[in-house]
Amino acid sequence: MARTAVVWLVIVVLGLGAGVYLLNTLLYLAPPNPVKAQWYRLIVGLQHPLFEQNWHLFAPNPIRSNFVLTVRCRTAAGVSPWQDATMPLLARLHRDRHSPAARLLRVQQNAIRNFLFGDPSEWRMLACRRDRASAACGRESEADRRIRDAGAYLLGRVASAACDRIVGRGRATAVQAGILIHQPPPWSRRHEPDAAGTTHMVPLPWAPYGAGAKTR
């Protein structure tokens, strides 16, 4: 009897959790509306950074850049060269679609977007229409700073996990992440190879090492 009650309790809790997640995701993906505006902070807080949805493949704002995370590690022996932390995961995903690489890549790419872009521009526009004195109308709102800080923190954790693989678990004392941003040639030059585009790097400050989760 007690075991049956526990099973039903687990089912109910999981069902409620799934229902809350689905409802929150629907609100997160919905166009700007009064309900979403009123509960925006709660909706984004539940969704970011692990469950962020990316629909930029479609118009009107398709993704036009590729982001690659590079990492270097500081140890007692010195500083390691920059290492690619994105392409090995992508290659692993291509070899085995059932590997956890997809989830690891999602966390990594969501953290990059949060660090680079902060709040979605549509919400800045909505906030300014509602209240021109809102802090969101400035160059960087408090929400922007929180999202960027969360992105920087996650990138530090990802870099720490990568350093465990590069120099050995626990050997790094500090980590630095760098974001390579590659822009392929525009549509008018679509017949040229991707390498004909431009690439630049956004380095993050050095951060203390934090024991990263195992990635394999």
pLDDT at 107: 87
Q: Where are the domains of the chain?
A: 1-57, 64-208
Q: Calculate the alpha carbon distances from 48 to 21, 45, 118, 123 in Å.
A: 12, 6, 11, 15
List, run by run, the mean pLDDT of 10-residue segments along the chain (216 residues): 80 88 82 76 76 58 76 94 92 86 86 74 51 55 77 92 91 93 79 79 91 42
pTM, full prediction: 0.61
Please give the pLDDT value at position 214. Answer: 40
Centre a 10 Å sphere on the Cβ of residue 143 and count the other Cβ atoms it contains: 19
Neighbours of 193 (CB within 10 A): 9
Short-list 155, 156, 181, CA closest to 63: 181
Locate 130 and state its tokens: 């509602």
Q: How far apart are CA 69 and CA 83, in angstroms?
A: 9
d(CA 213, CA 5): 35
pLDDT the model gives residue 216: 38
How confident is the model at residue 64, as a pLDDT?
67
Q: Which ranges of 30-100 would DSSP assign to H, the alpha helix?
A: 34-38, 40-47, 87-95
- The angle formed by the CA atoms of residues 154, 156 and 161, to the nearest 5 degrees, is 95
- The confidence score (pLDDT) of residue 52 equals 67
